[in-house]
Amino acid sequence: MWGRVRRTVESYREQAQASAADLATIISACTLIWQSITSRRAAWDAEEQLLNSTVKQYQDALDLTQSRFQGGLSSEVEVQQAKTQLDTTRALAI
């Protein structure tokens, strides 16, 4: 009788150890997923900041080109190129 109890206890102990190992594997996988998500989010944030900064710079360039066009120092083609560049970058930012 005591041998059967001992084997049952050993069996439960082994099952508990296996469950603990499974839990450790799951926690490890969740940690890797979380790290991936946070690093990807940081990259997205950096890209968004870069695009927003670029849009502002292209807007400034367009404003300057339009002023130069009104003063006769730039052509309409240059204004259209600046607008296209700005519109393309705005579309990427969206």
* pLDDT one-digit tens code per residue, 5-24: 888 888 888 899 999 999 99
Q: What is the dihedral of CA 91, 92, 93, 94, to 10 degrees?
A: 50
Instruction: List the chain domain ranges.
Output: 2-93
State CA 81 to chain mean position distance: 31
More confident residue, 4 or 60: 60
36-76 pLDDT tens trace:
999 999 999 999 999 999 999 999 999 999 999 999 999 99
- The pLDDT confidence band at residue 86, using thresholds 50, 70 and 90, is very high
What does pTM read for this prediction? 0.65
Segment 29-34 shows an average pLDDT of 96
CA angle 73, 58, 53 (to 5 degrees): 150
